[in-house]
Amino acid sequence: MRVSVTRRALIPLAAAAMATALAGCGSQISDPASANSTASSGSSCVDTSGSSVKVGFINSLSGTMAISENTVFDSLSLAAEEINAAGGVMGKQLEVISEDGASEPTKFAERAGKLIQQDCTAAVFGGWTSSSRKAMLPVFEANDALLFYPVQYEGLEASKNIFYTGATTNQQIIPALDYLAEQGTKSIFLVGSDYVFPRTANKIIQAYAKAHGMEVLGEEYAPLGSTEFSTIVNKVRDSKADAVFNTLNGDSNVAFFRQYKSVGLTAASMPVVSVSIAEEEVPGVGLENVEGQLTAWDYYQTLDTPANKKFVAAFKAKFGADRVTSDPMEAAYTSLYLWKAMVEKAGSFEVDKVQAAAGGVTFEAPEGTVTVDGENNHITKTPRIGKINSEGLIETVWSSPKAVEPDPFLASYDWAKDLAK
């Protein structure tokens, strides 16, 4: 006789099923428990005696972040190829060793340790999420090695072992608010994903709004990956705010913009400023859903600089005409050239000499001339507000008159005094 399981017994099993599914989601954003397990102090083993020097790329080539980080990897590869074709760094060809961070902070920490200690790379490039950077930070500090991090982030950090080539808050979020204020925006509604970057960004936005007489009519967070925005969109619509500030991450943007549009809200009636939608993300979100909406970055593919034309043409030649370039990709490309310039100025691959030489190093980047700030290891950047056009590219509608000095702790803003604490 067949034995069957009672229906009652299925319930705990279903609970187990859910726990499995939840655990699967959790691992993507969890913080590493053993971030510095691979770290140990020891003198550098970088070998510069031969005709080549090793550099490490660490990107998520698998997992949820692979969408974004693969593009950064492509862009880094292009820069390495160009540098090698032009004679390398101080006459030495770059030998790239690539590691997969697999969208997991612990993996980033472990692989970074391998790149430093086993592969003896002279510098490491990559990382995307703040949790991956935070996981790698102790590894680079303990080994006194160099990481170049190419993505805009929430600021409030400056390690001497990390060079931040993406925007900090005063090069992206604050200029976006300045732009809105300039446009006569009196009230805003904040929508974000529920994790560290949007919450930190919104704290800054709240402080800014308070100091500048702007009214924040609502602050709503959706769980990461959420696709249900009916209620949030109803609240936004009901608030009658002048504009929406969007810090949603990833696929939630698709659901948000579709549902935003379906209750009759448009770029004309209530514009949305997004800080995580770049050229790469537009097709996935659906051009018809975001056309005419605003973005805040420091680089767009449409920028009319000679360096950018060369970058875009080289990228399309290598990876295909249908590929686009975005802000983090440009920042990654720039980071490899900045390291080259630092090494050449220092006349050495040694970490302490490169660090000492870093301040003031400049590069003619696709976004314009960037200069390394020796105090906080960030770079100057030119904030730009863009509008998504009918081809899915982003046109600059406003640009900062000059490059903005990095200020990760917002020390130069009176209203931000309480934030850095």
Partner 1 sequence: MELLIGQMFAGLSLGSVLLLAALGLSLTFGQMGVINMAHGEFMMAGAYTAFVVQRSISDAGISLLVSIPVGFLVGGLLGLVLEAVLLRRMYHRPLDTLLVTFGVALILQQAARDIFGAPSVDVRAPAWLQGNVELLGAPIPLTRLFILLLSLVCLAGLVVVLKGTPLGRRIRAVVLNRDLAETSGISTRRTDQLTFFIGSGLAGVAGVAVTLIGSTGPYLGTNYIVDAFLVVVAGGVGQIKGAVIAAFALGVLQSVFEFSTTASIGKVLILVLIVVFLQLRPQGIFSLKTRSLA
Q: Which residues of this chain interact with partner 1, rule CB under 8 A?
A: 1-11, 13-18, 20-22, 24-25, 64, 66-67, 70, 194, 220-223, 225-228, 230-232, 234-235, 237-238, 251, 253-255, 258-259, 261-264, 280-281, 283-288
Closest approach of Cβ 200 to partner 1, in Å? 16
Q: Which two tokens stand for residue 219?
A: 């602050």
- Closer of 231 and 362 to partner 1 (Cβ): 231
Strand partners, 52: 93
Closest approach of Cβ 73 to partner 1, in Å? 12
Segment holding 254, helix H or strand E = helix 252-262
Distance of CA 116 to the CA centre of its chain: 23
Closest approach of Cβ 374 to partner 1, in Å? 37
- Closer of 148 and 256 to partner 1 (Cβ): 256
Closest approach of Cβ 220 to partner 1, in Å? 6
Closest approach of Cβ 10 to partner 1, in Å? 5
Tokens 């990897």 belong to 73
- Closer of 48 and 389 to partner 1 (Cβ): 389
Distance CA 179, CA 185 (A): 9
Distance CA 270, CA 262 (A): 13
The sheet that has 52-59: what strands, in order across it?
93-100, 52-59, 124-126, 147-149, 162-164
- Closer of 44 and 274 to partner 1 (Cβ): 274
- Closer of 270 and 403 to partner 1 (Cβ): 270
Closest approach of Cβ 210 to partner 1, in Å? 21
- Closer of 6 and 51 to partner 1 (Cβ): 6
- Closer of 218 and 359 to partner 1 (Cβ): 218
Q: Which two tokens stand for residue 244?
A: 């929406």
Q: How many degrees, rounded to 5, is the angle at CA 59 between CA 45 and CA 197?
A: 115
Tell me the pairing of strands 368-371 and 362-365.
antiparallel
Work out whether the CA dihedral 149, 152, 158, 163 comes out positive or negative.
positive
Tokens 């030649």 belong to 317
Of 246, 233, 244, 298, the closest CA to residue 276 belongs to: 246
Q: Which two tokens stand for residue 158?
A: 């400056």
Closest approach of Cβ 323 to partner 1, in Å? 12
- Closer of 60 and 295 to partner 1 (Cβ): 60
Closest approach of Cβ 279 to partner 1, in Å? 12
3-class DSSP assignment, residue 93 = strand
Distance CA 292, CA 290 (A): 6
Q: How many degrees, rounded to 5, is the angle at CA 60 between CA 59 and CA 61?
A: 100
